[in-house]
Chain A
Amino acid sequence: MSLVQVTDLTVEFGALRAVDGLSFRLERGAALALVGESGSGKSTVASALLGLHHGTGARVGGSIDVAGIDVQAASDGELRRLRGAKAAMVFQDPLSSLDPYYAIGDQIAEVHRVHTRGSRRAARARAVEVLDRVGIPDAPRRSRSRPHEFSGGMRQRALIAMALACEPDLLIADEPTTALDVTVQAQILDLLHTLREETGMGLLLVTHDVGVAAESVDQVLVMRHGREVEQGPVAAVLGAPAQPYTRELLSAVPRVDAARAPSAASDEVVLEATGLRREFGRGKRAFAAVDDVSLTVRRGETLGIVGESGSGKTTLGRMLVGLLEPTAGEVRYEGHARVGVRPTVQMVFQDPVSSLNPRRSVGESIADPLRARGEHDEGRIRGRVIELLERVGLEGAHYDRYPHEFSGGQRQRVGIARALAADPRVIVCDEPVSALDVTTQAQVVALLGELQRELGLALVFVAHDLAVVRQVSDRVAVMRHGRVVETGPADEVYDNPQDPYTRQLLAAVPALDPEAAARRRAVRRELASA
């Protein structure tokens, strides 16, 4: 009998069919990944396995069998006994997934007591034991901490500890590393791998990241629009995809090991920063988000700035465009010292939701730089905006639409059109594709490249994703704790990293090939023990 057997599963929310006729099975001790872009219904499947749609108004059809329990027919009591005890779930955002008011050890103990009816003391002891098991240092003491006192990676470990508390047969991990930095992600994936080897529990991994799937599972199921695209052994599906969508998905994934055709960079320096420093806070709580950073950007080239969260890369980007004034150092634009913003240095923002005013039509937003420049002729403004909309792959008729009528990728295109309206020489892109699905991401990256060649733009591409940065950059600067630890031509930095931190970052990037993933895991172990 399989650990999980799902047959012809459908889930409907009102008129929306989120999952449509999905079937799969997972054997004891095996690992399966549900891979898909947003809206593919993969998380809905994960919730359905625990019967979490019961009583929410969603209609669930087909049969679901988990650890010998018919989830569809189970009573509330039976479902409660399944949840946590036989099948445990780890969620995406480790901060919001734990109760902020109670100590982590108490929360784990609570879950343990629900299923064992044991004593408070035994439950606490078990909580400390599992926390120790997932690698929380000084577990007895740290079990008394509350979630906000833990770092992101530690919180995710704590959630995994909670999952382990009752020794479940099945672990369901819903995007367990999406909110984490790449080095932390690698640690969590390695932990899941080790736990699986040791406890023999089955793993159902839900992820949008093909690399994460390749690192962690034996079987993979690719989903799109609630349906199965294809499923099979991970090496087969990723190595020789049978379906066009899988091929499209794989080709869209940026490769950290693929060199880039050099762009037509000139020697003319348009933007130059020297000794930039920016402090936040006052007194004892003051800290430098960016500390002594110098860099140059030439016409027609792309400078990639890569770093993990808290490395100061966004602060640096905002100083380059003048949205933030540096505490020390200066930014020179075409040789002149600059204070404040100027329209010829533009920015494309990360969040396509908050970067457009929801109350104004996108045409009006794009027209802003034109109007601010003093253009009054409505006909000329409209003409230019329509030209820009078409240039970024939208339609002129979209002028009067509002941001909420567009998808994330389209909104990002609108943001690019708005930046172009100012006839910029430099565009700083702050994580421009990190909120987008991988296929959309590839399209936006391609658009930026085209525009750069056509207009001779200098681009500064700020991102946490090493592969994307390699894909677009001529030169790269690696940031950590507000400083640039390594800088140079992209191929040199990626192929022959000098700084230990750069090496660590590169080793943590998930590989698409399961065999390569195993090799990398070994390298990481070495780096960790060194």
Chain B
Amino acid sequence: MNGFGGFLLRRSIGTLATLLAISVIVYVVFYVTPGNVAQITCGPRCSPEQVHQVAQQLHLDDPLYVRYWHFLQGLVAGQDYSTGTSVEHCSAPCLGLSYQTDQQVLSIILTRLPVSLSLVFGAMVLWLLLGVGTGVLSVWRRGRLTERVLTGLTLAGWATPVFVIGLVLMIVVCGELQLLPFPQYVKLTDDPEQWAWNLLLPWLSLALIESAAFARMTRSSMLETLAEDHIRTFRAYGVSERSIVGRHALRGAFAPVIALNANNFGSAVGGAVLTESLFGLPGLGQELVHAVSVVDLPVVVGMVLVIGFFVVLANAVADVLYAVADRRVVLT
């Protein structure tokens, strides 16, 4: 297998293998615990009959690998759930049933997903602009006051916990100055303008924090490139500093920024927990916090799987983008 097609194929197989590995880890961590798995899965208010039903559903009497196989089968091919009186079909990809809410986990997640994606996509645009911009500017003005100020701001942003920035923003902008109403999620399809206005603060607070990492990364990899020999070549050929920083040094920061972005995007889809709960956005993160606090195990497991899926997918996309940007990767 050679060339780009071969690389894509290898990368896809690798992605699938990683997803499989994650499902194993998740299964072992959550379903091979010392406690009464059926009881935990069903929830604290289940009757003994219901618990028994769940135990059967989970094939708790079977050996571990058979149990995992059923779990995987449910994920890939769907599964039937009997709730004692009726049988409910959960079609693939089946993430199971939340016994506490009597809802399918997938549908819970699907109602929450647009909120998370709205938050993360908007914030991503902002953090890339802010972070990479700050990084480039501080490299371009290195050795001057601008650089010191930017470096200081970046450090401050890096050191501030996201909930503190969010909290302060909300208190100042919505509370004291009353420039914006306290955010409330409005669907994009209902009213795009209100959607954006209400998400502005969450975007900003998430982006401010994340952009610090991007600024540091951009800056450090650009400085690293600037110390390389080929920069000396272009200096010795009279190429202007603007072109050296903007064209050659920035190019070296592509790969690390793409990789960092993939990781941050993937984890923020489910991991913007703090921003979501702070601003009361009904996204995946908030649902996860809720599920954890009421110990709704099927939802927790489903969320972890979905978020893992996004993380792995984002990383795979990053790898491909990286390979497009730098063909040497394909050869190695």
Contact = CB atoms under 8 A, between A and B. Distances in A.
A110 B228 contact: no
B228 A82 contact: no
Contacts of B240: 80, 114
Interface stretch (B112-120, B166-174, B189-197, B231-239): B231-239
A97 B229 contact: yes
A93 B230 CA distance: 10
A159 B247 CA distance: 19
A85 B328 contact: no
B243 A110 contact: yes
Interface in A120-162: 146, 148, 159, 162
Interface residues of A, number: 28
A148 B230 CA distance: 13
B236 to A, nearest CB: 5
Given A99-B230, A100-B230, A83 B251 contact: no
Interface string A437-454: 000000000000000000
B252 interface: yes
A88 B238 CA distance: 9
Given A91-B229, A96-B230, A111 B237 contact: yes
Interface string B242-270: 01000110011010000000000000000
Contact of B236 (A89, A101, A102): A89
Contacts of A91: 229, 232-233, 236
Given A91-B232, A91-B233, A80 B238 contact: yes
Nearest to A172: B236
Contacts of B239: 80, 84, 110-111, 114
Given A101-B252, A110-B243, A81 B238 contact: yes
A79 interface: yes
Contacts of A89: 233, 236-237
A82 B235 CA distance: 11
A85 to B, nearest CB: 7
A146 B243 contact: no
A78 B238 CA distance: 9
B233 A97 contact: yes
Contact of B229 (A79, A80, A93): A93
A97 B237 contact: no
A105 to B, nearest CB: 15
A99 B251 contact: yes
B327 interface: yes
B326 interface: yes
A146 B236 contact: no
A98 interface: yes
Nearest to A99: B230
B237 A83 contact: yes
A83 B236 CA distance: 6
B251 A101 contact: yes
Nearest to B233: A97
Contact of A98 (B233, B238, B254): B233
B242 to A, nearest CB: 11
B236 A52 contact: yes
A481 interface: no
A50 B327 CA distance: 34
Contacts of A79: 238
Contacts of A84: 236-239
Nearest to B327: A146
Indicate the member of B233, B235, B236, B243 with the most A CB atoms within 10 Å.
Answer: B236
B234 A111 contact: yes
B232 A97 contact: yes
A83 B235 contact: yes
B253 to A, nearest CB: 11
A101 B238 contact: no
B237 A148 contact: no
Contacts of A115: 238
Interface in B202-246: 228-230, 232-240, 243
A85 B238 contact: yes
A209 B188 CA distance: 71
Nearest to B1: A284
A96 B237 contact: no
Contacts of A96: 228-230
A92 to B, nearest CB: 9
A303 B90 CA distance: 76
Nearest to B241: A76
Indicate the member of A85, A97, A159 with the most B CB atoms within 10 Å.
Answer: A97
Nearest to B251: A101
B326 A101 contact: yes
Indicate the member of B232, B238, B325 with the most A CB atoms within 10 Å.
Answer: B238
Contacts of A162: 233, 237
Contacts of B238: 79-85, 111, 114-115
A170 to B, nearest CB: 12
Interface string A158-200: 0100100000000000000000000000000000000000000
Interface of A: 50, 52, 79-85, 88-89, 91, 93, 96-102, 110-111, 114-115, 146, 148, 159, 162
5 A-B pairs with the lowest CB-CB distances in the bound complex, closest first = A84-B237, A83-B238, A96-B229, A80-B238, A84-B238
30 contacts: A52-B235, A80-B238, A81-B238, A83-B236, A84-B237, A84-B239, A85-B238, A88-B236, A89-B233, A91-B232, A93-B229, A96-B228, A96-B229, A97-B233, A98-B230, A98-B233, A99-B233, A100-B326, A101-B248, A101-B251, A101-B252, A101-B254, A102-B251, A110-B239, A110-B247, A111-B234, A146-B328, A148-B328, A159-B233, A162-B237
